Structure 1
Amino acid sequence: MKWRWPHFAGKAGGACIGFLLGGWIGFALGIILGHSFDYHREHLWARLPRLRFGSPFKIAQPAEQVYRHALFVCLGHIAKQDGRVSPQEIAAAEGIFKQLKLKPKARQEAIQLFNEGKMPNSQIEGRLTLFSQRYRSNKAKRLELLDHLLTISYAKGGPHPAQIARLKALLPILQLSLVELERLQRRRDQQQQRQQHKQYNRQGQATQEKAGLLAAYHELGLNSTASDEEIKLAYRRLMSQHHPDKLVAQGLTDRALEKATEKTQDIQQAYALLKKVRQL
């Protein structure tokens, strides 16, 4: 049975002390002061971390510490579900540590808890139960923890079936539903598809730029191993050969001059690209 401070303790103590010091007037003042003491004890002191009687005066963990301890242990536990913890999963965990802005000591503790979660006999249910109790009225925080665990499971490109199965088994402890897990998964899948699309576009753009660069070398009659001086000499030589102003005196037809103009523009564009890339 828990011992509780009586609600009237302040008033009783104040009345006794007041009577001893000032008679009945002191008695009345003592009750007033004692009532104020009881009020502030109930409404302000109760918000402070309370002592747990049982194991000698152990102070209850702050809620944020309970959250982080449960998170770090579960990150290691989920990462291990597919048999081994990959470098990608370790990098994902480091990303979460960075997101939480952990100080060096807290980061070291997080790593220890992560390694604890990897152990075959790790008991994560107790930490998760304590976390769910402390955040019973904060569903957003419980969803946040589950989303972090999905970060680990998606670290290698997609979740392993064993990892998803384990997350489903933990849903009752987290007081969350399968629908909520699937909604978070769909959001992850969509993010992954967008990232893959962006990567594909970047690769396509890089391929086009490479092809354009090779075409520029070809236009100047060179290859990619040409030196800067060879590129400048080739550009001046070709401009001298094909510039329309120098071909007019040769009595060329209008069609020939038009082709020479187009050739000159191609040479100039090729040289401009190489000049930009190689900073000539």
Structure 2
Amino acid sequence: MRLLLYNLRYGAGHGPAFNFPLPGIGGYMRATGRNLGRIVEFIQSTHPDIAGLIEVDMGSVRAATQNQAEVIANATGLVPAYHNKYARGSINQYLPIVRKQGNAFLTRQTDAIQRFHYFDLGIKRLIIELEMTHLCLFLVHLSLRYRHRQHQMHHLVSLVRSSRKPVIVAGDFNTLSGSEEIDLFAAAAGLHSANVRNQSSWPSSHPHRQLDFILYSQGVRMLAFDIPNVQFSDHLPLLFDFELETAA
């Protein structure tokens, strides 16, 4: 099986033009249609069985009211599971554009069970759980704040330990303090990083930080791992080929 993890940055792109006319903000207002087409073509070329997509526009004016998760699902033949990533009752649930920002899982298994959990702390709180026949996956986008991130990882440990199936946890962990944060979380949850060479995934133009992770438990056997050098977002995508030991 193949898992693709990709932070899309809402299809808004990257580079100097992203910061025009307002540094750090202006790019998030740009129309995303052309770049989304490139992203779709790339995802199609990787032939994933499962795709974990971070920072997906679910139909704001920026995306011409198109739900990017649905667009990618239709193009790949995968089944989508997506949701707004902010806390229930948060002001972000009501702001234009922002209220359409979420994360998504796509899968070939049509009867996979979808569950949506929420962290207690942080602005970005969504956890998407995808329970397949012999595997359970979690998709996250953790907080930029260290204290909140640690609380979120503690919550994740509980979810992972509660699963009776092999587990994969994937997402943008925002580990700005270094990969040691992941080492502690992985040890507590009984997980291993697919990125054994600690390759960086951000920024895509000159990667020097490892922010995106795919972690797997006992019962999952890694076959291959790659970080393709494509620059449709500020993050590079991760590709993880694996098999389940129970099905081997």
* Pairwise TM-score range, normalised by the shorter structure: under 0.3
State TM-score, norm by structure 2: 0.23
Q: Which has the higher helix share?
A: 1
Instruction: Give the TM-score taking structure 1 as reference length.
Output: 0.21
Q: RCO greater where, 1 or 2, for CA within 8 Å and sep 6 or more? A: 2
